[in-house]
Amino acid sequence: MITFESVRNNPEVETYIKKSDETLIALGYTEHSFPHVIKVAREAGNILQTLGYSPREVEMAEIAGYLHDMGNVINRIDHAQSGAIMAFRILDHMGADPEEIATIISAIGNHDESTAVAVNPVAAALILADKSDVRRSRVRNLNHATFDIHDRVNYAVEQSSLKISEDKTAITLDLTIDTSISPVMYYFEIFLGRMSLCKKAAHKLNLWFHLVINEQVLL
């Protein structure tokens, strides 16, 4: 039975994550390297753990979160699907159980908003963890004068948290945004599709999804 740590320490996985981020650097994207995939892995696992899913489902969510962006090494377009195929090869070679491989690769293959569907709880947790990772430290462009809208919105986020309510009926993405850098409307302009997807993913986990920006409930 493979573990999150065995996947994290796999040299092939490390190489593909590094090379994927190099591709995205060339394309001008925000950070998609180890800080992002580790955060997504931990957040996805924490969501399922908080909701009482089994330790094995929690670990599968962590594995899916860690591997989810490898497909960018091939191309940004359809990176979810190509990444799922890459993950299949790696996990199969590591001797993973076919049932678990199927769950993990279906989550990876369904995480990008252009084609995403929360097909199972692991996929739902991955979607919520990935789409909520909006933060200043993901911006690599240090020249504010050349910020595009994605740079501006990410850089404007001073604090970000994803929390499940104590009664386990709702999950809330709570953001603090410096509106002198980016109006709240810019966030909606580029992330409305992601927030809609988060609502559907939360529903898969029997949760309501809420978005709070600067203490104002917007969804």
Residue 126 pLDDT? 98
Residue 1 pLDDT? 86
Reading the chain (219 residues) residue by residue, the pLDDT tens digits are: 899 999 999 999 999 999 999 999 999 899 999 999 999 999 999 999 999 999 999 999 999 999 999 999 999 999 999 999 999 999 999 999 999 999 999 999 999 998 999 999 999 999 999 999 999 999 998 888 899 889 999 999 999 999 999 999 999 999 999 999 999 999 988 899 999 999 999 999 999 999 999 999 998
Residue 87 pLDDT? 98
Q: Is the dihedral of CA 147, 151, 153, 155 positive or negative?
A: negative
Residue 142 pLDDT? 84
Q: Which domain holds residue 76?
A: 4-217
Residue 211 pLDDT? 97
Side-chain-side CA neighbours of 30 within 13 Å: the count stands at: 19
Give me the torsion for CA of 79, 119, 219, 135, rounded to 10°.
Answer: -30
Count of domains observed in the chain: 1
Residue 99 pLDDT? 98
Residue 176 pLDDT? 97
For strands 208-213 and 157-164, give the pairing: unpaired
DSSP symbol at 145: G
User: For residue 52, what is the domain's CATH number?
Assistant: 1.10.3210
